[in-house]
Structure 1
């Protein structure tokens, strides 16, 4: 089954076109490999991507060819994503004073470390 259809059918993306554009940008991975919209997904595959708030990790439990209601959609995948950070945690990450200018290399490293990015 196509990954863009599956992501839309289990309600992880609002529309199929949003899922396809995220896939085209190279942000979604299936078992560690960058996925395209037509990539095939199977039961047991691990699908990862980055949301604006957190990294998402889901394991495919069931293939759904059509969009279904939310209670059925939740049963089609196992969500292993970390919890959504609280507002205080989000505000504490990478906060710079307005008008402070471009961050130095050390400040960029510190910000990346706080956000959990590797460099």
Structure 2
């Protein structure tokens, strides 16, 4: 391959990036492996289609990520060469207005939702409670015991 051919091939390679790597560089997942798992589970869509980890991501692609009960819709603004600080990662994408509103509504719902720990009336059983349970289980009649 000549130098001219190598120079012309370099910009073409920089025009796209693997989806799992982009999600890792943009700091949506801690590792590329976790990003690939989420993609394989069908929780990531690119331009409205289910994706695979090796799918190419380009500038202006729309990515939809389902995480923790919410859906994030992103517009790809750039491709990073390597993972860096969060401030740099935020420049790689823009979240849609609908997605931002949905995130805020989910935060409000969590804020005013019922705390599961408060709904529990009794805590951990005491030693006496455990003895009563064992005693009750020993004397309980069951159809299977016959």
Tell me: CA distance 1:69–1:88, structure 2 relative to 1, closer, same or farther (3 Å). closer
Give, in whole Å, the separation in 2 of the partners of 1:39 and 1:23.
Answer: 10
**Could you report, residue by residue, the CA deviation over 1:39-73 in whole angstroms, capped at 9, with x for unpaired residues?**
00000000002111311111100011310111111
Which structure has the higher relative contact order (CA within 8 Å, separation 6+)? Answer: 1
Q: Which residue, out of 61, 67, 70, partners 1:51?
A: 67
Give, in whole Å, the separation in 2 of the partners of 1:6 and 1:69.
Answer: 14
Mapping of 1:1-119 within 5 angstroms?
A: 1-80=17-96, 81=99, 82-84=102-104, 85=106, 86=108, 87-88=110-111, 91=114
Give, in whole Å, the separation in 1 of the partners of 2:113 and 2:21.
Answer: 31
More helix by share: 2
Give, in whole Å, the separation in 1 of the partners of 2:23 and 2:91.
Answer: 13
- Structure 1 residue 12: deviation in Å? 1.1
Query: Which 4+ stretches in 1 moved above 6 angstroms?
Result: none
Larger Rg: 2
**Matched length:** 94
TM-score, with length taken from structure 1: 0.71
- Structure 1 residue 89: deviation in Å? 5.4
Tell me: CA distance 1:89–1:54, structure 2 relative to 1, closer, same or farther (3 Å). farther
Which consecutive residues of structure 2, in runs of 5 or more, have no partner in the other structure? 1-16, 115-146
Which consecutive residues of structure 1, in runs of 5 or more, have no partner in the other structure? 92-119
